[in-house]
């Protein structure tokens, strides 16, 4: 049995947080011990923890030091290094860029293998200069980079940030898990209202500034449709967006939702207007729910999931408000097209089944997880050059 540390920035709402807990659950089921570590104090977790997970928080620094912000980063690394030395982990997994950089620094020149798990396309989110320098210094030292698409692997290789990559798509658990808070769509929508749904907590990344005016322009001519954005708190609504046309209701903001399956079932259309992704969990969930989906081909993910016109509607990269308007109009006006796209989308349940992705995940980490559960599937292709085998995310 191996002892594994998973480090991530938080367990609040978000796709990276859900995947971190999914990884932990898979490792626990295979007989390994898992410690999940985040900065900050206890009590802020949104998702339920799997049984057997050891939950840790980095101890806070004394008040005066906390107020120094980035200046005490070396101290945080040193304290993490002390933890790694004391706990004798067999493997450490850094989820997202900044926790991974910190973990690689803390493990410097030690025997502990560190695996980096990127959760979005890194080229879409420029880092501040100190973090870019630290990523350049640390990333090549990782034992493995787990990435969601071949495009991300290529980006890392072209910049000589990795020696070994493995492409691991997101898994779709079915039926979709539910947890508090439960927000009943029937309590917020009128029975006759037809729902267009989006999900996300980061307005700029998710392109809500594109979606809201596009939907408003369409809804002004097609009464009875309503846009809801789950996950976005009311207080986070950006200012300065165009005013809504007269008679168009403001987007419904149900806040944090633990029963998204009910919202996908209620929706007539799901929209992903993101500027960048990895493999978007919410798009996978909506497709698995049979919800017709409209997405912009951002880097990366939508093109790995959607075959345009067959199991979803895919707009070209860089599409803006006018393109979203035209697509929304076409899909709202064609219920038969929506029905056909929703039916085709159901195939992701098999293609990205949790049992398959779980086996590939365990096989990718097999060199550091001895003995591995016999339920692990065939090894996931790993590569150190652009001529690697096709990934699990490749259609």
Tens of pLDDT, residues 139-178: 999 999 999 999 999 999 999 999 999 999 999 999 999 9
pLDDT averaged over the chain? Answer: 90
Q: Inform me whether the pLDDT recorded for 372 exceeds 90.
A: no
| Domains of the chain in sequence order | 3-171+353-383 (3.40.50.2000), 185-350 (3.40.50.2000)
* Residue 347 pLDDT grade (very low, low, confident, very high; cuts 50, 70, 90): very high
Task: Determine the pLDDT at residue 386.
Answer: 35
- The DSSP code sequence of 183-238 is --GGGTS-TT-EEEEEE-S-HHHHTHHHHHHHHHHHHTTSTTEEEEEET--GGGPP
Task: Determine the pLDDT at residue 240.
Answer: 61
Rg, C-alpha atoms of the chain: 21
Q: Inform me whether the pLDDT recorded for 375 exceeds 80.
A: no
- DSSP state at residue 189: S
What percent of the chain is predicted at pLDDT more than 90?
Answer: 79
Q: Residue 332 and residue 328: Cα distance in Å, rounded?
A: 6
Q: Residue 145 and residue 167: Cα distance in Å, rounded?
A: 8
Task: Determine the pLDDT at residue 294.
Answer: 98
10 Å Cβ neighbour count for 209? 17
pLDDT digits (tens, 9 = 90+) for 47-57: 999 999 999 99
* Residue 64 pLDDT grade (very low, low, confident, very high; cuts 50, 70, 90): confident
| Inter-residue contact 166 to 175 (CB < 8 Å) | no
Specify the pTM: 0.89
* Residue 374 pLDDT grade (very low, low, confident, very high; cuts 50, 70, 90): very low
Tell me what the mean pLDDT of segment 217-227 comes to: 93
């Amino acid at each position: 049995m191996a002892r594994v540390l998973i480090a991530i920035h938080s367990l609040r709402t978000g796709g990276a947080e859900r995947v971190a807990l999914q990884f932990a659950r898979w490792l626990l089921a295979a007989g390994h011990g898992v410690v999940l570590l985040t900065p900050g104090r206890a009590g802020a977790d949104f998702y339920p923890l799997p049984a057997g997970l050891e939950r840790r928080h980095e101890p806070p620094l004394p008040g005066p030091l906390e107020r120094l912000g980035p200046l005490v980063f070396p101290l945080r690394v040193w304290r993490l290094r002390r933890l790694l030395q004391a706990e004798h982990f067999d493997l450490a997994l850094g989820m997202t860029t900044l926790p991974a950089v910190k973990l690689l620094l803390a493990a410097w020149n030690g025997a502990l293998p560190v695996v980096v798990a990127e959760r979005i396309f890194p080229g879409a989110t420029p880092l501040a200069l100190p973090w870019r320098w630290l990523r350049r210094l640390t990333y090549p030292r990782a034992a493995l980079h787990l990435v969601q698409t071949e495009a991300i692997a290529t980006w890392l290789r072209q910049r000589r940030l990795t020696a070994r990559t493995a492409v691991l798509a997101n898994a779709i658990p079915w039926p979709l898990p539910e947890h508090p808070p439960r927000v009943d769509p029937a309590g917020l929508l009128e029975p006759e209202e037809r729902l267009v749904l989006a999900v996300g907590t980061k307005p700029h990344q998710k392109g809500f500034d594109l979606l809201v005016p596009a939907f408003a322009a369409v809804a002004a001519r097609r009464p009875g449709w309503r846009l809801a954005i789950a996950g976005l708190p009311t207080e986070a609504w950006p200012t300065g967006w165009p005013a809504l046309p007269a008679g168009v209701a403001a987007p419904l903001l149900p806040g944090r939702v633990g029963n998204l399956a009910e919202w996908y079932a209620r929706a007539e259309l799901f929209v992903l207007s993101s500027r960048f992704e990895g493999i978007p969990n919410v798009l996978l969930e909506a497709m698995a729910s049979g919800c017709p989906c409209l997405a912009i081909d951002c880097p990366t993910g939508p093109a790995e999931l959607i075959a345009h016109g067959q199991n979803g509607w895919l707009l070209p990269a860089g599409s803006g408000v006018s393109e979203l308007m035209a697509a929304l109009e076409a899909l709202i006006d064609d219920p038969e097209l929506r029905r056909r796209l929703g039916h085709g989308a159901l195939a992701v349940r098999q293609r990205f089944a949790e049992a398959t992705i779980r086996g590939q995940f365990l096989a990718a980490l097999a060199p550091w997880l001895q003995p591995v559960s016999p339920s692990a599937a065939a090894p996931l292709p790993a590569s150190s050059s652009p001529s690697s085998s096709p990934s699990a995310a490749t259609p």
